[in-house]
Structure 1
Amino acid sequence: MNRLQRPIAKPSARRQGAGPSARRRMLLVIAVLAAASVGLMARAFDLQVVRKQFYQDQGDARFLREVPIAVSRGTIFDRNGEPLAVSTPMVSITVVPSEVLDNADRIPALAQALGTSADDLKAYLEQRADREFAYLRRQMNPDAAQAVLALGVPGVNGQREYKRYYPSGEVTAHVLGFTNIDDHGQEGLELAFDSWLSGKPGAKRVIRDRMGHIVEDVEQVRAPQPGQNLTLSIDRRIQFLAYSELKKQLEDVDADSGEMVILDVHTGEILAMVSLPTYNPNAVNGTTGAQRRNRAVTDVVEPGSTMKPFTLAAGLSSGKYTPTSPLVDTGNGHWMYYGHDIRDDTPNGLLTPTGVLTKSSNIGAAKISLSLDTQFVYDAYKAFGFGDSTGSGFPGESSGFLKVGHTWRPLEKATMAFGYGMNVTPLQLANAYATLADDGVMHSPTFIKEGDNDGKQIVSPQIARELVAMLETVTAPGGTATRAQIANYSVAGKTGTAHLAAIGGYAKNNYNSLFAGIVPATAPRLVGVVVINNPKKGYFGGAVSAPVFQRVMDGALRLLDVPPDNIGRWYVGGPLQSGGGLAGNAPPPANNQDDAAAAEVVDP
C-alpha cells in the first residue's frame, strides 16, 4: 500500500478542543466592548449627572466671571445749578499675575507703559503670583489706559471706574470734603450724604478667554443704580467772594487761621462757609489734618463781645430792662469783682442798655447779667443754641461748651456776659444772630437748598427787633464797627475781641478777632460771621474782622439783588436819625476799637 492509498486519520478529540473557536472569540470581543461601553456610559453619567455641578463650577471658575458694573456718583450742585463735585470716567488696569509671569518677556514693555521699572513690576507680580486678581494701576486716564491695553499682554485687563473731581478746588474743600479711591465719602458733605450720592454698583457674568480678556457678556446679574444728585444751599459766587476776601485779610494781618459763615436768615440755608488754611480736594495726598479741618463747625472760640446781644436779650426778656432804661453805672472803666478787674476801654459812666452795646461795655453787660436770676440767664443762652449742636448734620460738628447754670460761680456769670468762660463755633454764633434777624425765630442751619426747615420762636418778635435796632448803633458813627458799614445798606452787628486761652489763664498778646452782622438791618436777609484767629498785625474785631464782613456782604447783597434800604446815607431810620443816641446817650467820636484791651480777665 503506498502513501497515497493510506486512509486519512481522523483528528483526535484532544485536538478538536485545543483552541477557542471563532465564535467564542467573537463573543469575547463583544463582551469586552460591552463592558467598556457600560463603563463609558457610567463615567458619562457620573460626569454629566452625578458630578455635573462640580465640573460646571470648575469650568466657570476658569472662564466665567462675575464682574462689577461701575456706577457714577451723584453730582453735587450749588443752589444755582453750578457743579461743585462731578464723577469722571477712568480705567483701572487689572492683572492675573501668574499669566503675566508666564509671559515674562512682555514685562519690560508693560512696565514702560505703566511708568515703572521692569524689576519693580516683576517683584510686584511675584508677590501676588497666587492670586487671580490684582490692580496694576487705579484710575488711569482712559487714553493712557488704552495704550497699556493695546500691548495685548496676556492677563492684563481694563476695568471702568469713576474718579471725583471738584471744579472749585480749595474754595469749597471744607464744605464738600472728598472721596477715597473707591469713591466713598471721607469728609464733609461727601461723607454726610455718602449713601445718597454713592448709588449701588451692578454686576454681570462674562466669559474670559485663556488670556483673561472678556469675550462675551453672558447675563446681567444686578442692574446698576447710579447715585442721586444733591443740590446745596451754597452759592458758589458768594463762596468764592468769602474765600478770596478772607484769604487776603489773613495774609494782611498775618493770622493763623480764619472762618466765615453766611446764612439766609429766613430759611437757615448756609450760603457760604469758608475755613482757612485749606487744601485741594483733587490732590489730598500730603495734606494735613489742620488743613482739612472745617474750623467753622469743628473748632470753638470764646465769642468775646459778640455774646453781649444775648445777655441783653435775657435782660429785655426779664422785663427789668428796655433799650433805654434803666441806666447802668459803668463808672470809670474799672470794676473790681471777686478780686478781678473787669475793664472797659474808656470811662463810660451811666449807660443805657443800648449804650452798653454801642460802646461794648464789659462792665455794663456783667452788671445786667448779675441782676438777673442765674437759671434765667442760662436758659436764655441755651435757647439761642449755645452748648448744643446746631443740627446741621455736618460730620464732626462741635456743640461748643456752656456750663450748666446751677454750677456757675458769680465771676463766671459776670464774664460769660461778655463772652468768656464759654465756647461757640462760628456756625453757632451765626445761627444765633440769624435768630435775632428773623424776629426771634430759630432755624436749624442747613446745607440743602429749600429743605424742610420750620423755625422755632425763641424770643418775642418785639425784643428781636429792638436788639437789631440796638445793634445798628454799633456800626453807626461812634460805634465800634464803623468799618462794617455798607454803602446804601443799613448794618447791625457786633465786634468781639477775645484773648486766647492759655495755661493758667489767658494769653496777654494773642487774640481772636470776631464780627457778627445782619444786613439789611431794616429788613434782614443775610447774617455773616467772621472769625480771625491770632492776627499779628492788629487784633480789634472792628479793625480786623469787620472789613472782611463789609467787602463780602457788599458783594453778596448785589449778587442776590437785595434792594438797598439806606440810599444816600450810611445810617438811617434808626435811633440816631435825629442825631441823638438811644436813651439820650450821644454817640462818642468814631473809633475802631472794641473791648479787647478791657477784657483782660483770668480764668476764674
Structure 2
Amino acid sequence: MTPRAKPANLRARLYTVLMVLALASTALVVRAVDLQVVRKDFYQGEGDARYLRDIPVPVSRGTIFDRNGEPLAVSTPVESIWGNPQELLANPDQLPVLANALGVTTADLTERLVQRKDKEFLYLKRPVDPDAARDILALKIPGVASERAFRRYYPSGEILAHALGITNIDDRGQEGLELAFDDWLAGKPGLKRVIRDRLGHVVENVELLQEAQPGRDLILSIDRRIQYLAYRELKAAIIDHHASSGSMVILDVSNGEVLAMVNQPSFNPNSRTAIDPAFRRNRAVTDVVEPGSTMKPFTIAAALESGRWKSDSPIDTTPGTLMLPGGYTISDHRNYGLINVTRVITKSSNVGAAKIASSLSSEHMYDVFHRFGFGEVSGCGFPGESPGFLPISKSWGPVEKATISYGYGLSVTPMQIAQAYAALANGGRLRQPGFVKGAVNPDSAVIDPQIAANVRSMLETVISPEGSGLAAAVPNYRVAGKTGTSRRAIAGGYEKRYVSLFAGMVPASNPRLVGVVVINDPGQGQGAYFGGLVSAPVFSKVMANALRLLDVAPDNVQRWYAGSPDVGHPIGPASEPPAYPADQPNYEEAVP
C-alpha cells in the first residue's frame, strides 16, 4: 500500500515568497539610497561628463583704423561646423547628405571621420557663412553642431595687403602689422560651462568660468588716401616700364610716422586660396638693394662734417674716369671737368664722390653712414625687417671705399633710405619710423643741422634741367631729392638689369614728407631704366596729391622747381612741367 503524501506547507511557502520580496524591496531601497544619497555626486559627475562641457567664448579681434578713422581690418561673425565622429559613424546613412551640404565627397568625409573615430570633436568646415550654417543645421543630422567664430575682412584689399598682413583661420595674426600687434588686437577668449544635448546643441548655460576680453582697436599712422595714391602710381609705373616689382615708402618728417608703404606685385588678403609667397613678401622692409647714387648725399654729409670740404669746394673730375688699384675704373656719364661739391650731387658724378671719399677716413665714413641708420634695422617694429648690410670699415680698401661712396658694396631697404632722408629733412635728427598714430617717438641728433641744411640745398639742384631728377618736380613746391640707378647684384658680380630709385623730400623749404621709390628691373633689360625716368615721376605724382590732401602750403608758387638754392626758374604759377627731351643727357647718370 502506497504511503500518503504529506500535504504542502502553504504557509511556509507564503512566508518564503514574502521574505524574498522583502529582501528584494530592501535591496532596491538600499540601492536607491546609495544612488540618490551616498553616491549622488559620483553619478551626477558621470552624467555631467557626458552632457556638461566647458566651451570657449569667442571674442572679436580689434578693428584696425587708418589715421583718419577709416576701417582697414574688421572681424565679421561666421560659424564653424563641427561634428562628433562617433555619432556620425553610427549613422552612415546620413553621411552622403552631410557631405553634399559641406561640398565634399562622401569618401573624403568618411575618411576624416574614421581618422578621428576615437574623438568626440572634429571641425567639419570653417569658416561658414551664418546662412549656410543654418541650412546645414536644419538637416538635423545627429552629431553635427556649430559654434560662433570670427573672420578678418580687409576693405582695401591688396592696397594695404603688405602693411596689414593677414590672420589665420583662428583669427590670429600671421604677417605684417596683424602679427606685430597680435597681442593687442587678439584679446582673450572667455570660458563657460554649458549643458549640451545629444545633438550637441547648448540647452543651458551653467556658469561663466572666465570672462572674455575683446581685442583692442588700433589706430595706425597710415593714411588710406595717400596709401591708395602710392599704390596706384607704383602699379602704373611697374606696368608701363615692364618692371618685375617695386616699393614705395612715405614718412611724415615731423614725427617719423609711416603714411604709406606699398609693394608690387600685391595680393588679395581676403582670399583664402594659395598665394605665391613672393607676392606676400613686404619688399619695403625685407628686400635689400644697392642704393646707387641715393647714397651720395651721405658721402657729402661726411665730407662737410670732416671740415675738409664745403659746398663750393672745387673738384676736378677730368677726364670723366678714375683708375683705382687693381685696374678698377670708375666712370661718369660724361666728362664734367672742374666742378664743385654741389655739382657732384647735381650731376651725380661717381668720380667726384669717389675722389671726395678718398680724402676721408674709412672710420669716419662708416660712422656717418651708421648714424643715419644703415646696417641695422630701422626700429619700425615690422616683423621680418632686414638690417641690410654695411661692411665694417676695417674691410674697406680703396676700391671698397670708392664704390660705397656712390652706393655699391652695401645693401639697404627702402625703409632705411626713407629713414635716412627723413633725418636730413629733420635738421639732422633721426627718428625711428612708426606705424601707430600719436606714439611717442623721440629723435636723436646724427649730424649738425647746418650740414643737413647744406645737403638739402644741394639736393634741390637735382630737381632742375641741369640735374637728373627734373621729373620729380611738384608744381608749386620746392623739391629736394636724389635719383639712383644700380645694377642688380648676382653671384660673382652684376648683371645688365637695373634697380631704379628716387628719394626726396617736399616742400624743401620746410620738409613735411619724405618719399622713396624703388623699382626693380624696369624694362626687363630693355628700354628706360634710369631712376630719373622711372622712379622720379612716381614721386612727383604721389606727392602732388598727398600735399593737397594734407593741406600743406606751397612754398614755390611763382616757380615750382628750383635750379639752385639761390636762383630759380620762374615759369608761372600754374605751369605744367616743361617737356624734357628724351635724349637729354642730364636725365641719365653713370652706372658702373
Q: TM-score, normalised by structure 2?
A: 0.92
Q: Which residue in the other structure is 2:528 paired with?
A: 538
CA deviation string 1:359-408 (max 9, x = no partner): 11111111111111221111000000000100010000000000111221
Q: Which residue in the other structure is 1:75 paired with?
A: 63
**Which among 557, 578, 585 is matched to residue 567 of structure 1?**
557
Q: Which runs of 5+ in 2 are unaligned?
A: 1-5, 570-579
Q: Which residue in the other structure is 1:306 paired with?
A: 294
AA partner of residue 331 (structure 1): T
CA deviation string 1:231-284 (max 9, x = no partner): 101111111110111111111111111000000011110000011111111114
- Give aligned pairs, total: 572
Are residues 1:56 and 2:48 paired? no
Give the Cα–Cα distance (whole angstroms) in 2 for the partners of residues 594 and 228 of structure 1: 53
Q: Which residue in the other structure is 1:598 paired with?
A: 590
Moved more, 308-317 or 212-221: 212-221
The structure with the largest alpha-carbon Rg is 1
AA partner of residue 380 (structure 2): S
SS in 2 for 1:89: strand
AA partner of residue 538 (structure 1): A
CA deviation string 1:59-94 (max 9, x = no partner): 112111111111100001111111110000001111
Give the Cα–Cα distance (whole angstroms) in 2 for the partners of residues 284 and 117 of structure 1: 21
Q: Which residue in the other structure is 2:222 paired with?
A: 234
Distance 1:296 1:593, change over 3 A: farther
Q: Which residue in the other structure is 1:420 paired with?
A: 408
Q: Which residue in the other structure is 2:348 paired with?
A: 360
Distance 1:578 1:215, change over 3 A: closer
Deviation at 1:595, TM superposition (A): 9.3
Deviation at 1:357, TM superposition (A): 0.4
AA partner of residue 229 (structure 1): D
Q: Which residue in the other structure is 1:328 paired with?
A: 315
Give the Cα–Cα distance (whole angstroms) in 2 for the partners of residues 405 and 481 of structure 1: 31
SS in 1 for 2:400: helix
Are residues 1:520 and 2:510 paired? no
1:481–1:592 contact (8 Å) kept in structure 2: no
Are residues 1:147 and 2:135 paired? yes
**Which among 129, 135, 145 is matched to residue 123 of structure 2?**
135
**Which among 247, 250, 273 is matched to residue 259 of structure 1?**
247
1:362–1:418 contact (8 Å) kept in structure 2: yes
Q: Which residue in the other structure is 1:343 paired with?
A: 331
**Which among 174, 182, 185 is matched to residue 194 of structure 1?**
182
Moved more, 117-126 or 552-561: 117-126
Deviation at 1:48, TM superposition (A): 5.2
Deviation at 1:207, TM superposition (A): 1.1
**Which among 460, 480, 496 is matched to residue 472 of structure 1?**
460
Deviation at 1:104, TM superposition (A): 3.2
**Which among 371, 391, 403 is matched to residue 403 of structure 1?**
391
CA deviation string 1:105-156 (max 9, x = no partner): 3333333322233444344333333221111111111111111111112211
Distance 1:503 1:99, change over 3 A: closer
Q: What is the alpha-carbon root mean square deviation over aligned residues? A: 2.4
Q: How does 1:78-93 map to 2 (within 5 A)?
A: 78-93=66-81
Moved more, 53-62 or 31-40: 31-40
Give the Cα–Cα distance (whole angstroms) in 2 for the partners of residues 472 and 420 of structure 1: 23
Are residues 1:319 and 2:307 paired? yes
Give the Cα–Cα distance (whole angstroms) in 1 for the partners of residues 244 and 211 of structure 2: 50
AA partner of residue 92 (structure 1): S
Deviation at 1:53, TM superposition (A): 4.4
Give the Cα–Cα distance (whole angstroms) in 1 for the partners of residues 80 and 513 of structure 2: 46
Deviation at 1:599, TM superposition (A): 3.2
1:519–1:526 contact (8 Å) kept in structure 2: yes
CA deviation string 1:424-472 (max 9, x = no partner): 0000000000000011111100011111101101111111111111100
Give the Cα–Cα distance (whole angstroms) in 1 for the partners of residues 283 and 133 of structure 2: 39
Q: Which residue in the other structure is 2:538 paired with?
A: 548
Give the Cα–Cα distance (whole angstroms) in 2 for the partners of residues 290 and 204 of structure 1: 42
Distance 1:592 1:156, change over 3 A: farther
AA partner of residue 180 (structure 2): A
AA partner of residue 529 (structure 1): V
SS in 2 for 1:287: coil
1:571–1:577 contact (8 Å) kept in structure 2: no
Give the Cα–Cα distance (whole angstroms) in 2 for the partners of residues 571 and 126 of structure 1: 73
1:497–1:594 contact (8 Å) kept in structure 2: no
AA partner of residue 463 (structure 1): I
AA partner of residue 321 (structure 2): H
2:60–2:150 contact (8 Å) kept in structure 1: yes
Deviation at 1:44, TM superposition (A): 5.0
Are residues 1:437 and 2:425 paired? yes
Q: How does 1:262-281 map to 2 (within 5 A)?
A: 262-281=250-269
1:496–1:594 contact (8 Å) kept in structure 2: no
SS in 2 for 1:431: helix
Give the Cα–Cα distance (whole angstroms) in 1 for the partners of residues 106 and 474 of structure 2: 65
Q: Which runs of 5+ in 1 are unaligned?
A: 1-14, 580-588
SS in 2 for 1:474: coil
Q: How does 1:146-295 map to 2 (within 5 A)?
A: 146-295=134-283
AA partner of residue 512 (structure 1): V
CA deviation string 1:556-595 (max 9, x = no partner): 111111111100312359524178xxxxxxxxx9886579
2:220–2:436 contact (8 Å) kept in structure 1: yes
Identity rate of aligned residues, in percent?
58
Deviation at 1:35, TM superposition (A): 5.9
Q: Which residue in the other structure is 1:558 paired with?
A: 548
Give the Cα–Cα distance (whole angstroms) in 1 for the partners of residues 36 and 355 of structure 2: 95
1:345–1:598 contact (8 Å) kept in structure 2: yes
Q: Which residue in the other structure is 1:506 paired with?
A: 494
2:249–2:516 contact (8 Å) kept in structure 1: yes
Q: Which residue in the other structure is 1:10 paired with?
A: none
AA partner of residue 286 (structure 1): A
Give the Cα–Cα distance (whole angstroms) in 1 for the partners of residues 513 and 101 of structure 2: 55
1:68–1:204 contact (8 Å) kept in structure 2: yes
Distance 1:424 1:578, change over 3 A: closer
Moved more, 567-576 or 261-270: 567-576
AA partner of residue 549 (structure 2): L
Q: Which residue in the other structure is 1:4 paired with?
A: none
1:101–1:125 contact (8 Å) kept in structure 2: yes
Give the Cα–Cα distance (whole angstroms) in 2 for the partners of residues 145 and 308 of structure 1: 61
AA partner of residue 83 (structure 1): P
1:540–1:592 contact (8 Å) kept in structure 2: no
AA partner of residue 55 (structure 2): V
Give the Cα–Cα distance (whole angstroms) in 2 for the partners of residues 354 and 490 of structure 1: 17
Give the Cα–Cα distance (whole angstroms) in 2 for the partners of residues 223 and 269 of structure 1: 36
2:464–2:563 contact (8 Å) kept in structure 1: no
SS in 2 for 1:433: helix
AA partner of residue 598 (structure 1): A
Q: How does 1:23-38 map to 2 (within 5 A)?
A: none
AA partner of residue 499 (structure 2): N
CA deviation string 1:180-220 (max 9, x = no partner): 10111111011111111111111211111222222111111
SS in 2 for 1:575: coil
1:499–1:596 contact (8 Å) kept in structure 2: no
Give the Cα–Cα distance (whole angstroms) in 2 for the partners of residues 524 and 436 of structure 1: 9
1:482–1:592 contact (8 Å) kept in structure 2: no
